[in-house]
Amino acid sequence: MMLSKPKKVKKSSRPTRDEFEMEELGNAIEEAYREKIEVIVTIWQREPLKGKISKLDGETKTVHILSEYETHKVKFIDILKVESAPR
């Protein structure tokens, strides 16, 4: 009897974006941080977060989002979209 090899599970890959899209996203994040506005951040393979951007960490390339009483550290590359939260 031959044993079959375990099937490889294909990971879903992060959507690719061009330089223009990355720059637009970066500008939206910086504006939300500077203006201290509440935003909804769409994140790859996670639930969207609603909150304010409290820190931009260029060294670790993470964005800190204060949502209610908890700070979430999200890698910039995982952020798909940033939009103003409805008031």
Do residues 26 and 18 touch, judged by C-beta distance below 8 A?
no
Straight-line distance from the first to the last Cα atom of the chain, in angstroms, rounded to the nearest whole number? 65
d(CA 28, CA 84): 9
pTM listed for this prediction? 0.82
Phi, psi of 30 (to 5 degrees): -60, -40
Q: What is the pLDDT of residues 29-43, one digit of tens each?
A: 999 999 999 999 999
Q: What is the pLDDT of residues 58-77, one digit of tens each?
A: 999 999 999 989 999 999 99
Residue-level length of the chain: 87
